[in-house]
Homo-oligomer: A and B are copies of this chain.
Amino acid sequence: MTQKIPTRIYLNEDEMPRYWYNLRADMKEKPDPILHPGTLKPVVNADMEPIFCKEAVKQELDDNTKLIPIPEGIQNFYRAYRPAALIRAYYLEKELGTPAEIYYKFEGTNTSGSHKLNSAGPQTFYAKEEGLKSLTTETGAGQWGTALAMACAFYGLDLTVYMVKVSSEQKPYRKAVMETYGAKVIPSPSNTTESGRKILAADPNTGGSLGCAISEAVEAAIKTDKCRYVLGSVLNHVLLHQSVIGLETKIALDKYNIKPDIIIGCAGGGSNVGGLIAPFMGEKLAGKSNTRFIAVEPASCPSFTRGRYAYDFADTAQTTPLLRMYTLGCGFIPSANHAGGLRYHGMSPILSKLYHDGHLEARSEIQTDVFAAAIRFMKTEGILPAPESSHAIKAAIDEALECKKTGEKKVILFGLSGTGYFDLSAYMSYNAKTLSDQVPTDEDLQKGFASIPNIPQNK
């Protein structure tokens, strides 16, 4: 191939995807069904509609429709910040001296700073269409809360964000940007909900967790008229929306006839890597490619690599439906020394199933290695990456250096899911060498596993 590949490939507006891709439709082995926590039977739409928007529930439970049209009202929202660039990492390749070709899909140029906007828009659009007035959600590192605040400002809905307390203290500017978009931000656990009061009673000094904040947000949504809860990762409909990342990437690569050998994404709840890999995994499951897929998670919250594949709650207060997923237990809280997101105890059921069946690899990385990779990347490619995204950078560099050893000219694609503008205190700690690498002990894990519900499906 002699065609020169540009540093940045942008799709034209008329090349942008008109459909989301529902990977489940192409999985012969489907993820296990979501269970009602009371009856332990598969949930039906009516079970979930008091919590989520109807359309989100419909998408959540649809394992069969392969292509789901993106409504014009959402395409219009996407046009406000998409297409995202697919970037050839020429500078990084040169610095590494690797024969590999490295590409990354950069989702961080919107103000929320990450891919999260891709699902915040659709979920808010549906809420508006269904006549709702307000939404609630949780946020940890703040990317999801910011994205949703932007979407709610765009569509004109009120928003309450329960923000993990330790994060709201470490990131006052995250709070400020959400508030500037008009959202109400409540540090969680708070005394505004029963779940919050219970958690505070048990530990008044807790810094909170995503699981706690979810409990509060769900409770607040149920108790408020014309209000629903929205979640930024883990769930099937979120991965569906995020398939726009992979679809755009595939259209761009296909234009230049580039076939990735390895696709890498960071994994917290799985929405970013799940969205990126979706159409490529569909090809692999159909026997049309041999692409390797690698999910990279923090060693301090290793749900894939050290978790159990079991039915578990999505939240700490154990109020949500049960998801079969790789989980550290809904009571697991990662060490406070862990900087950045990817702190969720569980993992997308779709990705969990793919991992369980051997279609997806996973690895974990300690955070000082991740920051070192981030700085290597930013000094060559220019972009200040989010600590989350830097897990993917670390693995991409490792794979490229492996190619240097073997002389293989592999094509490596990774997801650069977001920027690190709000993570500079973590970079400062790394620079000052005060960032440590505590990973959970086996005892820590056992404590977490004890919170996984003891139900027949888990025997």
Chain A residues proximal to chain B, CB less than 8 Å: 6-8, 10, 12-13, 79-81, 83, 91, 109-111, 113, 150, 153-154, 172-173, 176-177, 179-182, 375, 378-384, 419, 421-422, 424-425, 427-428, 431
User: Which residues of B are found within 8 Å of A177, using beta-carbon distances?
Assistant: 384, 424, 427
Mostly helix, strand, loop or mixed at chain A's interface?
A: helix
- 20 inter-chain pairs at a CB distance below 8 angstroms, sorted by A residue, are A6-B12, A8-B13, A10-B10, A80-B381, A81-B382, A91-B154, A110-B383, A111-B378, A111-B383, A150-B382, A154-B379, A154-B382, A172-B424, A173-B421, A176-B425, A177-B424, A179-B428, A180-B378, A180-B384, A180-B424
Question: Bound state CA distance, A109 and B106, in angstroms?
Answer: 11
Question: Bound state CA distance, A96 and B173, in angstroms?
Answer: 28
Question: Bound state CA distance, A10 and B85, in angstroms?
Answer: 10
From B111, B150, B179, B382, give the contact of A80 (CB < 8 A).
B382
B182–A111 touching, CB < 8 Å = no
Question: Bound state CA distance, A213 and B86, in angstroms?
Answer: 39
Question: Bound state CA distance, A192 and B402, in angstroms?
Answer: 46
**What is the chain B residue whose CB lies nearest that of A422?**
B421
The 9 closest A-B pairs by CB, nearest first: A173-B424, A6-B13, A421-B421, A153-B379, A176-B424, A7-B79, A109-B109, A111-B384, A10-B10
Question: Bound state CA distance, A91 and B154, in angstroms?
Answer: 9
Question: Bound state CA distance, A178 and B193, in angstroms?
Answer: 42
Nearest Cβ in chain B — how far from A113, in angstroms?
Answer: 8
Question: Bound state CA distance, A91 and B109, in angstroms?
Answer: 18
Nearest Cβ in chain B — how far from A155, in angstroms?
Answer: 11
Question: Bound state CA distance, A427 and B109, in angstroms?
Answer: 20
With A6-B12, A113-B421, A173-B425 already in contact, 14 other A-B pairs whose C-beta atoms are closer than 8 Å: A7-B79, A8-B83, A80-B381, A110-B382, A111-B419, A150-B382, A153-B379, A154-B379, A172-B424, A176-B424, A179-B431, A180-B375, A180-B378, A180-B384
**What is the chain B residue whose CB lies nearest that of A427?**
B180
A176–B384 touching, CB < 8 Å = no
User: Which residues of B are found within 8 Å of A113, using beta-carbon distances?
Assistant: 421
